[in-house]
Structure 1
Amino acid sequence: MAERKGVVPSTAAREQHERELFGLARRLRDGHHRGREALSLVPSENRLSPLAQLPLQLDFYNRYFFNENHDPDFWQFRGGESIADIETDVAYNSLSMLSGAPFVNLRPVSGLSAMIIAISGMGGETGSTVVCVDPASGGHYATVAVIKRFGFVPAMVSVEAGVVDVDGLRKILSAQDVSLVYLDLQNSLHLLDVAPVAACLAEHSPHTLLHVDASHTLGLILGGQVPNPLELGATSFGGSTHKTFPGPHKGVLFTRLPRVCELIKDAQYVLLSSHHFAATLALGLAAREFQYFGTTYARQVVVNARRLGAELAARDFKVARCADGFTDNHQLWVDVGDQAATNKLSGALAQAGVRVNVQTDMPGFAGPIFRLGSAEVTFEGASETSMTLIADAFAAARNGEVDRAARFRARARQAFESPHFFVDPE
């Protein structure tokens, strides 16, 4: 029972409360240690490097920072004054160089936050049409609802094997005033083909802006494994920074156009206050590390995903295929049966220390599947050898041999090579 206000707790009550808090702390510690040993194959997650994680443990986590211009008369909040340049110089410049975009907005606090800012800022006048990807084709579940909430009219296009239905888009352009095409492909084994969409807009609706939500492939784009949307005609791109990009839970937006930069900034100013200063510092450190490791990491992410797909298929798992094999990015889709069978195998793998992602609304599937990703384990140092051992763990778990699966998981981690981040030699 909660203590009444104004009543001093008894010694026994205080001791009980203390035991409870320390018990919670132990649970957190133990869960953390288990997580460090587990192998995460969740495509929407990644891991921070020790260096990038540091700001989240320091006093800066508690502070606001708004003085992006370092105006000596505008230090309304001084807690971040001594290291503000890590955001304004390190984070901004590193991400600008990686993206080839002179204008970078670091303020979104998640991928959905970036979506809200982009649609609000670039959606045009109330009543304008904003086009997005049909969720049945792999589009984000929330996009249509976000479009409606800002007073825009949603229209959807389908995507097949990464190719947008340009004929369908052309019909929408001829019938409606389209202010923005927001390509939000999140569930796909193929890379999004941006160029035909940009060409269609240039010919039929030059005023329409084109934004690519690259939340899932951001690390592959910045690592040079996937074509940069800005090079293919997109007005802007961005998304979350914790999927294939190994950063904190935040979002980022890129553009080369000053006008679009202002549209984004104006929307961000009223939709977002705190941008989570410590997480932005973490993003800067992750980006600076990525400038050194990003190319080899991004390449290995795709190599590992394809190898894991081949190894699972060789063990009689039903792995979805794309035109060039099992995947063109970090995602793998595996059909392991009905809901009961899927949950059973997911649980067995979790007991063995292998974490998978179950999805029930994937394009082309009527039931649940495993949506797997290779990004996090690759960031930690996994090579093709580890992919073979992970596939062995899947097979053992399917056979009910959880202990054997756990041994394969441990061997897979032992086979890791150098991670794609800096390690303190001490």
Structure 2
Amino acid sequence: MRGTMRVVEDGTLSAAPQQQHRRQIHELARRLSDSHNRSRDALSLVPSENRLSPLAQLPLQFDFHNRYFFNEDHDPDFWQFRGGESISDIETEVAYSSLRALSDAPFVNLRPVSGLSAMLIAIAGMGGDPGSTVVCIDPASGGHYATAAVIKRFGFVPAAISVEAGAVDLDGLRKILSSQNVSLIFLDLANSLHLLDVAAVAACLAEHSPHTLLHIDASHTLGLILGGQAPNPLDLGATSFGGSTHKTFPGPHKGVLFTRLPHVSRLIKDAQRVLVSSHHFGATLALGLAAREFEHFGPAYARQVVVNAKRLGAELAQRGFDVARRTDGYTDNHMVWVHVGDHAATNKLAGTLAEAGIRVNVQTENEMPNVSGSVFRLGTNEVTFEGASETSMALIAEAFVAARDGAVDRAAMNHSQARQAFDSPYFYADAGWRPAESSKRI
């Protein structure tokens, strides 16, 4: 039996503290499990998140998640880190072949560990010589908040351009091209109800600055592009595109970059080698499995995402909510913006919805282009992936009404009805792929 002196001698606990420690561990595990179960039942309308399918979740629950893998060429003399030999082809063959097919790009870099990681690699690799100008989208027009700062930290000169209704200010762009040495146009439209007009920018570069590279950060619309619901930027004249893989694309927290040009692939690879060490092997395996499923489900899923977003906007507007409008509707992608009121009112309604099992994304004052005050930035990507149809959008809108009235129970009932109305999900829902529970207990 361990005595209290053993705590001092070897760091172990005596019987009473050991029981207390065990109870604490059990409580942490219980809290995690309870929160996980609530998340599984919740309806998430957050446009920058998505679920993983049961198949794609597997690598994140297995040992590979915590291992390195660098032997992309399967060199028998280069297994510096063992353990991935039997399943590494899920990265080197499945992931690459599926992503090449989906993007119609022969060169795929799946080493970025996030969307921002992909941004760092793209700007560092294609930004040109120190002091060159890199153009990005003004955050006031929906550009990513971090892009200009990243450009500056790499020794380049940031220049911001505005975007209106998906169209870049071409007059402003021509002025920048004529007055500065622009190496890269990095179009990072993060908040928009419109798809970006890439072709017009590519035509402008072809006429005024053909040496300038054009990269499209398609983090939010990647699933729509790979699912054929939005145009492929490479078909429209972009040099490269990419971004995060967990928004409209239902993959893990990773990043990916695509190009059809060998020399651009080399620029990206050279930057990636020094900016990313571990590419998170388990997450990369998950990306490969998600991409393989997406080859089958992607087109139908991407179409339904947009159909649902348009329907959700219309249903909310019909019920008196202040929904941001385009000239010809509410959205042409996965996003719907709803102005609720001041920040306190917005947070209160978000909390009521969360209590009823519906999660929304709150954007505070001046964070969204052309919208004043706090807003809900909604997305239909995750609920669609789970099988939501237009019928579910109407029921979700009813839940918003109930939450606005303070009727949490009624909103929760609408939540349940919306989920019950789901069709089949856009993935293989085979429970047999779930890992067996360990026989060992805490």
Question: TM-score interval w.r.t. the shorter chain?
Answer: over 0.9
Q: Does 1:244 align with 2:248?
A: yes
Contiguous gaps of at least 5 residues in structure 1:
none
Residue deviations 1:241-298, cap 9 Å, x none? 0000000000000000000000000000000000000100000000000000000000
Alignment partner of 1:417 out of 423, 426, 435 = 423
In the alignment, what sits opposite 1:366? 372
Structure 1 segment 33-112 matched on structure 2, within 5 A: 33-112=37-116
Residue deviations 1:208-263, cap 9 Å, x none? 00000000000000000000000000000000000000000000000000000000
Within 2, Cα distance between the matches of 1:230 and 1:8?
60
Within 1, Cα distance between the matches of 2:28 and 2:374?
34
Per-residue deviation at 1:366? 2.7
In the alignment, what sits opposite 1:120? 124
Within 2, Cα distance between the matches of 1:291 and 1:52?
14
In the alignment, what sits opposite 1:399? 405
Q: Does 1:196 align with 2:208?
A: no
Instruction: Give runs of ≥4 in structure 1 deviating > 3 Å.
Output: 3-8
Within 1, Cα distance between the matches of 2:421 and 2:8?
56
Percent sequence identity over aligned pairs: 77
Within 2, Cα distance between the matches of 1:255 and 1:214?
13
Task: Indicate the SS of the match to 1:47.
Answer: coil
Within 2, Cα distance between the matches of 1:327 and 1:112?
25
Q: Does 1:212 align with 2:216?
A: yes
For the structure 1 residues 165 and 35, does the alpha-carbon distance in structure 2 shift closer, same or farther, using more than 3 Å as the test? same
Per-residue deviation at 1:6? 4.0
In the alignment, what sits opposite 2:297? 293
In the alignment, what sits opposite 1:233? 237
Q: Does 1:156 align with 2:160?
A: yes
Q: Does 1:146 align with 2:150?
A: yes
Per-residue deviation at 1:8? 3.3
Per-residue deviation at 1:5? 7.7
Within 1, Cα distance between the matches of 2:260 and 2:76?
29
Counterpart amino acid of residue 169 in structure 1: L
Counterpart amino acid of residue 305 in structure 2: V
Within 1, Cα distance between the matches of 2:238 and 2:127?
15
In the alignment, what sits opposite 1:17? 21
In the alignment, what sits opposite 2:396? 390
Contiguous gaps of at least 5 residues in structure 2:
1-6, 433-442
Per-residue deviation at 1:9? 1.9
Per-residue deviation at 1:348? 0.2
Task: Indicate the SS of the match to 2:234.
Answer: helix
Per-residue deviation at 1:365? 2.2
Task: Indicate the SS of the match to 2:341.
Answer: coil
Task: Indicate the SS of the match to 1:83.
Answer: coil
Residue deviations 1:183-209, cap 9 Å, x none? 000000000000010011111111100
Within 2, Cα distance between the matches of 1:5 and 1:336?
61
Residue deviations 1:51-94, cap 9 Å, x none? 00001111111210001111111111121111111001000010
Counterpart amino acid of residue 329 in structure 1: N
TM-score, normalising length from structure 2?
Answer: 0.95
Task: Indicate the SS of the match to 1:189.
Answer: coil
Task: Indicate the SS of the match to 2:86.
Answer: helix
Within 1, Cα distance between the matches of 2:198 and 2:309?
23
Per-residue deviation at 1:7? 4.2
TM-score, normalising length from structure 1?
Answer: 0.98
Within 1, Cα distance between the matches of 2:162 and 2:315?
31
Per-residue deviation at 1:13? 1.0
Structure 1 segment 276-355 matched on structure 2, within 5 A: 276-355=280-359
In the alignment, what sits opposite 1:378? 384
Counterpart amino acid of residue 48 in structure 2: S
Counterpart amino acid of residue 422 in structure 1: Y
Per-residue deviation at 1:323? 2.5
In the alignment, what sits opposite 1:274? 278
Alignment partner of 2:414 out of 405, 408, 411 = 408
Q: Kindly report the root-mean-square deviation, in angstroms, between the aligned alpha carbons of the 2 structures.
A: 1.0
Counterpart amino acid of residue 81 in structure 1: E
Task: Indicate the SS of the match to 1:268.
Answer: helix
In the alignment, what sits opposite 2:437? none
Alignment partner of 1:256 out of 251, 254, 260 = 260
| Range 134-143 or range 321-330, more displaced | 321-330
Within 1, Cα distance between the matches of 2:360 and 2:126?
36
Task: Indicate the SS of the match to 2:235.
Answer: helix
Per-residue deviation at 1:179? 0.4
Within 1, Cα distance between the matches of 2:188 and 2:307?
24
Task: Indicate the SS of the match to 1:230.
Answer: coil
| C-alpha contact 2:54 2:431 (8 A) present in aligned 1 | no
Within 2, Cα distance between the matches of 1:378 and 1:16?
44
Residue deviations 1:312-353, cap 9 Å, x none? 001000000113210000000000100111011000000000
Residue correspondences, number: 424
| Range 56-65 or range 345-354, more displaced | 56-65
Counterpart amino acid of residue 177 in structure 1: N
In the alignment, what sits opposite 1:131? 135
Within 2, Cα distance between the matches of 1:366 and 1:134?
17
